[in-house]
C-alpha cells in the first residue's frame, strides 16, 4: 500500500499567501482593542501598524459594558484587578431603567439568571401564576444581581452551581480613554507600531479596487494587505473610499444626538448603570471610581441642543467636570462591514445607541469574527460573505431589543413617546412580543447576545402582561409560593454576607488616581 506524502509545496504556498502587514486606521477603544487582539493572535508574526491623530481624538463615551467583555480580557491574559485599577473601573450587575414604562416606574435588567429553576416548568411561569393571584412583586426580585445591586454590595460569583451566589453575572464600568491607553501599552509591548498622523488619501488598486495604502499629511505612505477601519463615524475607509453603504434605522430608533459630561463621584458607587427616560430621549449615569459618567441621548426633532444640554446639567449628582461634549449619529449599520480587503470595526461599522451597553461588545464580536474568518492575501470572498451575514444578524437582533424599550411604553406625555408607541416595528420583534403576550413564551435564538433572561427582564419590565401562564404549571403540584418566598430569603441572606461595593473596590482594585 502506498501512503501519499504530505504536499510540502502546498504548505509553503499557504504560508507564502499569509498576510504581510495589517494597517489599523484609528485608535480609541476600537482601534486598540483590535490591535491588542490581532497582535496576540498572530504572535507577532505579522507586522501591525496603527495610525491615529491626536488632533482628531476619540469619542470615548462607551463606559459601560456587558458580561462578555470578561472573555476578551481573559483571552489577552489581562488581570482583572490590574485592569480595574488602571481604568478607574467599577463592577456592573445590570441596568436600572427609570421612568421608561411610565413616569414613576422602575425596573432592573440583571446580568445572569433570574431565579433558580426548581421544576421542569420555568420559574417565570410560576411567577406569572402568582401574579395573576395578586402577588405583584416584579420579576427582578428573583434575580441575585438585583438584590446585590440595590444593597450596593458586590462579590465575585461562586463556582458551585448549587449556591445562589453562582446565579449572577457581572460586567464593568470603566474610563474608555484609560482602557484604550491600557490596551495601547499591551499592544506596543508586543510589537504593534503606532503612527501619529492624519490620513489625506486612500490609495486603491486599479485592478480590483482593494486598498493599497493610506497616505498621511506628512507624505508618508502606509501599505498593507488588510486594512481595519476604526475611524469612527468618519468611516474613512469603508465608506469614503469603498462606498459600502449604510442602512439608516432612525425610523425605529429616532434619537440622533447625545451630549456627554463627567461629574464628581457620588457615594456609595452603586454597581449598576442607570438609564432615566426624559421627554425626548434618556439619560445615562455610570459610576466610575474617579468620576461619574453622564450623558443625554435625544431626538433632535423633539428637543434642541441647548435644551438637551441644560436638562443634562440640571440632573447631575455632583459638580460638572469639564465641558459638555456633543455627538451626532444615525442609528443603523454598514451594509457590508467587510468589503474587499477592509473590515470596519466600531462606530465605522454602525451605531446602536448605548441603551443596553452594546457599543464595546460590538467591537469585541467584530474582532472575534475577524479572527475566526481570518484572511490571507487571496481574500477568498466566502469569508467576507459569512462575516457580513453574522454581523447583519447581530445588529438586527440588538436593534429589536432596543426598539422594545421605546415601543412597549405607557407614556404619552411627550411627542417622542407618542411616536414610538404608535410606530410600526420589525416583524421579528412583533413576533417575540406576541409570543410573550400570549403565554409568557420566550423565543430567543441560541446564539444571540440577549438570551431568555434578558428578554424576560425587559418584556416584563416594560409592562407587557401575558394573557395566561403555561398551563403545565397547574398540573405539576408544585408549592411555588413557598419556594419563591424561600428563594427571596436566601438571596437576601447571601447578599447581606457580601462586602459593600466600595469596600470591595478599595480592597482589591482601588484606582491609581
Residue 262 domain flag: yes
Whether residues 52 and 190 share a domain: the answer is yes
Whether residues 52 and 112 share a domain: the answer is no
CB within 8 A of 215, min separation 6: which ones? 199, 200, 201, 202, 203, 221, 222
Q: d(Cα 433, Cα 403) in Å, to the nearest integer?
A: 11
Residue 71 domain flag: no
Whether residues 236 and 340 share a domain: the answer is yes
- The answer to whether residues 467 and 439 touch, using CB atoms and an 8 Å cutoff, is yes
Q: For residue 172, what pLDDT is reported?
A: 98
- The answer to whether residues 89 and 509 touch, using CB atoms and an 8 Å cutoff, is yes
CB within 8 A of 485, min separation 6: which ones? none
Q: For residue 5, what pLDDT is reported?
A: 42
Whether residues 492 and 478 share a domain: the answer is yes
- The answer to whether residues 457 and 108 touch, using CB atoms and an 8 Å cutoff, is yes
* Active-site residue identified among 25, 59, 83, 92: 92
Whether residues 96 and 153 share a domain: the answer is yes
Q: Which residue, of 305, 328, 351, is where some domain finishes?
A: 328
Whether residues 31 and 123 share a domain: the answer is no
Q: Are strands 171-173 and 332-334 parallel, antiparallel or unpaired?
A: unpaired
Q: For residue 11, what pLDDT is reported?
A: 46
Backbone phi, psi, residue 357, to 5°: 55, 45
Residue 421 domain flag: no
Whether residues 163 and 210 share a domain: the answer is no
Please, what's the b/e burial string for 365-390 (b: 16 or more CB within 10 A of its CB; e: otherwise)?
bbbbbbeebebeeebeeebbeebbeb
Task: Output DSSP code: residue 3.
Answer: P
- The answer to whether residues 348 and 233 touch, using CB atoms and an 8 Å cutoff, is yes
Residue with cell 426580585: 141
- The answer to whether residues 337 and 231 touch, using CB atoms and an 8 Å cutoff, is no
Q: For residue 6, what pLDDT is reported?
A: 45
Task: Output DSSP code: residue 140.
Answer: G
How many domains, in total, are found in the chain?
3
DSSP characters for 400-425? HHHHHHHHS----SSHHHHHHHHS--
Check if 92 is active-site: yes
Residue 410 domain flag: no
Q: d(Cα 502, Cα 6) in Å, to the nearest integer?
A: 60
Asked whether the bond before 330 is cis by omega within 30 degrees of 0, the reply is: no
- The answer to whether residues 291 and 321 touch, using CB atoms and an 8 Å cutoff, is yes
Structural domain range at position 312: 257-328
Q: For residue 448, what pLDDT is reported?
A: 87
Q: d(Cα 488, Cα 509) in Å, to the nearest integer?
A: 30
- The answer to whether residues 93 and 149 touch, using CB atoms and an 8 Å cutoff, is yes
Whether residues 479 and 371 share a domain: the answer is no
pLDDT in tens, the chain (513 residues): 444 444 444 545 556 799 999 999 999 999 999 999 999 999 989 999 999 988 765 555 558 999 999 999 999 999 999 999 999 999 999 999 999 999 999 999 999 999 998 888 999 999 999 999 999 999 999 999 999 999 999 999 999 999 999 999 999 999 999 999 999 999 999 999 999 999 999 999 999 999 999 999 999 999 999 999 999 999 999 999 999 999 999 999 999 999 999 999 988 999 999 999 999 999 999 999 999 999 999 999 999 999 999 999 999 999 999 999 999 999 999 999 999 999 999 999 999 999 999 999 999 999 999 999 999 999 999 999 999 999 999 999 999 999 999 999 999 999 999 999 999 999 999 999 999 999 999 998 878 899 999 999 999 999 999 999 999 999 988 899 999 999 999 999 999 999 999 999 999 999 976
Residue 160 domain flag: yes
Q: What is the CATH number of the domain that holds 33?
A: 3.50.50.60
Q: Across-strand partners of 24?
A: 50, 228
Residue 49 domain flag: yes
Q: For residue 230, what pLDDT is reported?
A: 97
Q: d(Cα 169, Cα 55) in Å, to the nearest integer?
A: 39
Q: d(Cα 444, Cα 61) in Å, to the nearest integer?
A: 29
Whole-angstrom CA distances from 148 to 173, 309, 509 are 16, 33, 19
Residue 7 domain flag: no
Residue 3 domain flag: no
Q: Which residue, of 308, 328, 348, is where some domain finishes?
A: 328
Whether residues 281 and 316 share a domain: the answer is yes
**What does the block give as the cell for 307?**
435644551
Q: Which residue, of 328, 350, 366, is where some domain finishes?
A: 328
**What does the block give as the cell for 58?**
476619540
Whether residues 170 and 180 share a domain: the answer is no
Whole-angstrom CA distances from 377 to 41, 128, 210, 374 are 17, 56, 11, 10
Other Cβ atoms within 10 Å of 43 Cβ, number: 9
Q: For residue 105, what pLDDT is reported?
A: 97
Whether residues 138 and 157 share a domain: the answer is yes
Q: For residue 9, what pLDDT is reported?
A: 41
**What does the block give as the cell for 229?**
477601519
User: pLDDT digits over 183-204, tens only?
Assistant: 999 999 999 999 999 999 999 9
The rounded radius of gyration (Å) of the Cα atoms in the chain is 24
Whether residues 367 and 239 share a domain: the answer is yes
Q: For residue 8, what pLDDT is reported?
A: 43
- The answer to whether residues 291 and 312 touch, using CB atoms and an 8 Å cutoff, is no
Amino acid at each position: 500500500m502506498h501512503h501519499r506524502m504530505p504536499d510540502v509545496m502546498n504548505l509553503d504556498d499557504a504560508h507564502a499567501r499569509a498576510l504581510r502587514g495589517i494597517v489599523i486606521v484609528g485608535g480609541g477603544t476600537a482601534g486598540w482593542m483590535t490591535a491588542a487582539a490581532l497582535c496576540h493572535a498572530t504572535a507577532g508574526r505579522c507586522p501591525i501598524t496603527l495610525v491615529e491623530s491626536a488632533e482628531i481624538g476619540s469619542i470615548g463615551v462607551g463606559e459601560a459594558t456587558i458580561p462578555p467583555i470578561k472573555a476578551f480580557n481573559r483571552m489577552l491574559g489581562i488581570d482583572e484587578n490590574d485592569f480595574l485599577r488602571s481604568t478607574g473601573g467599577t463592577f456592573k450587575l445590570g441596568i436600572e431603567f427609570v421612568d421608561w414604562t411610565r413616569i414613576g416606574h422602575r425596573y432592573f435588567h440583571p446580568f445572569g439568571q433570574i431565579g433558580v429553576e426548581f421544576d421542569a416548568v420555568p420559574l417565570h411561569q410560576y411567577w406569572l401564576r402568582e401574579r395573576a393571584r395578586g402577588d405583584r412583586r416584579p420579576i427582578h426580585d428573583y434575580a441575585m444581581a438585583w438584590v446585590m445591586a440595590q444593597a450596593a454590595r458586590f462579590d465575585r460569583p461562586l463556582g458551585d452551581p448549587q449556591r445562589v451566589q453562582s446565579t449572577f453575572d457581572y460586567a464593568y464600568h470603566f474610563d474608555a480613554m484609560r482602557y484604550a491607553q491600557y490596551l495601547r501599552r499591551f499592544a506596543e509591548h508586543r510589537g504593534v507600531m503606532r503612527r501619529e498622523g492624519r490620513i489625506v488619501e486612500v490609495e486603491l488598486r486599479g485592478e480590483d479596487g482593494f486598498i493599497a495604502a493610506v497616505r498621511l499629511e506628512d507624505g508618508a505612505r502606509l501599505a498593507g494587505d488588510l486594512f481595519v477601519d476604526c475611524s469612527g463615524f468618519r468611516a474613512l475607509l469603508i465608506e469614503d473610499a469603498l462606498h459600502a453603504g449604510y442602512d439608516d434605522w432612525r425610523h425605529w430608533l429616532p434619537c440622533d444626538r447625545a451630549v456627554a459630561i463627567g461629574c464628581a463621584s457620588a457615594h456609595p458607587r452603586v454597581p449598576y448603570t442607570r438609564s432615566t427616560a426624559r421627554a425626548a430621549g434618556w439619560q445615562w449615569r455610570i459610576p466610575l471610581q474617579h468620576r461619574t459618567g453622564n450623558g443625554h441621548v435625544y431626538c433632535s426633532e423633539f428637543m434642541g441642543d441647548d435644551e438637551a444640554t441644560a436638562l443634562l446639567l440640571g440632573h447631575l449628582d455632583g459638580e460638572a467636570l469639564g465641558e459638555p461634549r456633543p455627538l451626532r449619529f444615525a442609528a443603523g449599520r454598514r451594509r457590508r462591514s467587510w468589503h474587499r480587503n477592509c473590515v470596519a470595526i466600531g462606530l465605522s461599522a454602525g451605531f446602536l445607541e448605548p441603551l443596553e451597553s452594546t457599543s464595546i461588545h460590538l467591537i469585541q464580536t467584530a474582532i472575534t469574527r475577524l479572527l475566526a474568518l481570518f484572511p490571507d492575501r487571496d481574500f477568498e470572498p466566502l469569508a467576507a460573505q459569512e462575516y457580513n451575514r453574522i454581523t447583519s444578524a447581530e445588529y438586527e437582533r440588538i436593534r429589536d431589543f432596543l426598539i422594545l424599550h421605546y415601543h412597549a411604553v405607557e407614556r404619552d406625555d411627550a411627542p417622542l413617546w407618542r411616536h414610538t408607541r404608535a410606530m410600526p416595528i420589525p416583524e421579528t420583534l412583533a413576533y417575540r412580543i406576541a409570543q410573550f403576550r400570549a403565554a409568557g413564551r420566550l423565543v430567543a435564538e441560541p446564539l444571540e447576545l440577549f438570551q431568555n433572561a434578558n428578554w424576560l427582564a425587559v418584556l416584563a419590565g416594560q409592562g407587557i402582561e401575558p394573557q395566561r401562564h403555561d398551563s403545565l404549571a397547574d398540573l405539576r403540584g408544585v408549592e411555588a409560593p413557598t419556594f419563591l418566598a424561600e428563594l427571596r430569603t436566601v438571596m437576601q441572606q447571601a447578599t447581606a454576607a457580601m462586602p459593600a461595593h466600595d469596600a470591595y473596590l478599595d480592597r482589591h482594585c482601588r484606582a491609581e488616581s
